[in-house]
Structure 1
Amino acid sequence: MPELQRLRADHAPALLAFELENRGYFAKSVPDRGDLYFAEFDVRHAALLAEQDAGTCHFHVLVDGDGAVLGRVNLVDVAEGEAELGYRIAEGAAGRGLATGAVRQLCGVAGAEYGLTALRAATSAGNAGSRAVLARAGFVVVGEAVVDGGGVEVRYRREGLGG
């Protein structure tokens, strides 16, 4: 059974492998991170841990029993009791309910451990899978916006995180 874990320094090798193995898959629905992200991964990982230590973000990985990363579920821009939710699941793990389960679990953690009262999320209008995950995890549509490139982004919100 996969386990949601708070990001640690020792997750770096498995997280880099996850990002590299799924780079093409992720680029189909979100902008590619670019070559520099991978070339400077260790520096970026250390910066994420520093943000987490400062309390401005809370990063999590979904790992299997062997320690391989199956997904990421993150809370960024923490302020005034709210944060922005972001997540990605490996191509080989997609369609098994892992994203929905991890997002639901993180909603509970956000309230109970981080003291948050609401989360925001956004996805492209054409990303039916991500939209379904958010709906199943209790998020409601609060609006839409046109983003760079002319695409439509659907925005969500969830309150009552259950602390």
Structure 2
Amino acid sequence: MPELQRLRPDHAPALLAFEEENRAFFAATVPDRGDDYFTRFAARHAALLAEQATGACHFHVLVTQDGEVLGRFNLMDAADGEAELGFRLAEKATGRGLATATVRELFTLCTQTYALTKLRAGATLTNSASRAVLTRTGFVPTGEELVLSRERGLGYVRELEGL
């Protein structure tokens, strides 16, 4: 079983490989990050680590035993017991329940390590896989229509108290 790890500097090469290998797959359901993301990856990675050090965000990667990144699971804009969940899974890792299991594992980190009591999430209307993961893990639609990188989407929320 892959391991959920807090983002570290040494994850950079495997994380870049993950993003490059899955770029077309991700672009089918979420807006592409653009070429600049890849050419400036090292600076972007350093900026994420600096942001994480402030406690405002908590970034995680799902890693195999040999160090390959299979997914990203991020808690962003953490404040007042709430954060926004974002995640993406490698194409070759889909359909096995890994995203669902990892989001559930993240709930434990949220409550026991990060003192979070509520998560928000959003998914584009075209991203049925992410919407299914959110529903399976207890997120409920808020009724809020979102625009996610110029794409229509839906908002979700998950209370974590009492887990």
State yes or no: 1:100 paired with 2:96.
Answer: no
Aligned to 2:119: 119
How far residue 63 of structure 1 moved from its aligned partner, in angstroms, is 0.5
Contact (CA 8 Å) 2:122, 2:146: kept in 1 or not? no
How far residue 143 of structure 1 moved from its aligned partner, in angstroms, is 1.2
Structure 1 stretch displaced more, 14-23 or 136-145: 136-145
Quick one: distance in 2 between partners of 1:52 and 1:14?
Answer: 19
How far residue 148 of structure 1 moved from its aligned partner, in angstroms, is 7.0
Q: Deviations over 1:99-150 (max 9, x none)?
A: 0011111111011100011000010123221111001111111113153798
Aligned to 1:77: 77
Contact (CA 8 Å) 1:75, 1:84: kept in 2 or not? yes
Distance change (3 Å), C-alpha of 1:152 and 1:110: same
Mapping of 1:35-74 within 5 angstroms?
Answer: 35-74=35-74
Identity percentage of aligned residues: 62
> Alignment length, in residue pairs?
163
Quick one: distance in 2 between partners of 1:161 and 1:14?
Answer: 34
Q: Which amino acid in 1 is paired with 2:24?
A: G
Q: Deviations over 1:75-119 (max 9, x none)?
A: 001111100000000001111101001111111101110001100
Which 5+ residue runs of structure 1 have no aligned equivalent?
none
Under a length normalisation based on structure 1, what TM-score does the superposition of the two structures give?
0.94
Q: Which amino acid in 1 is paired with 2:7?
A: L
Query: What is the DSSP-based 3-state SS (H/G/I as helix, E as strand, rest coil) of the residue aligned with 2:126?
Result: coil
Under a length normalisation based on structure 2, what TM-score does the superposition of the two structures give?
0.94
Distance change (3 Å), C-alpha of 1:106 and 1:125: same
Quick one: distance in 2 between partners of 1:149 and 1:71?
Answer: 20
Contact (CA 8 Å) 1:7, 1:60: kept in 2 or not? yes
State yes or no: 1:157 paired with 2:150.
Answer: no
Which 5+ residue runs of structure 2 have no aligned equivalent?
none
Query: What is the DSSP-based 3-state SS (H/G/I as helix, E as strand, rest coil) of the residue aligned with 2:153?
Result: strand
State yes or no: 1:133 paired with 2:133.
Answer: yes
Distance change (3 Å), C-alpha of 1:52 and 1:152: same
Quick one: distance in 1 between partners of 2:77 and 2:117?
Answer: 14
Distance change (3 Å), C-alpha of 1:54 and 1:85: same
Distance change (3 Å), C-alpha of 1:137 and 1:149: closer
Distance change (3 Å), C-alpha of 1:149 and 1:14: closer
Q: Which amino acid in 2 is paired with 1:77?
A: D
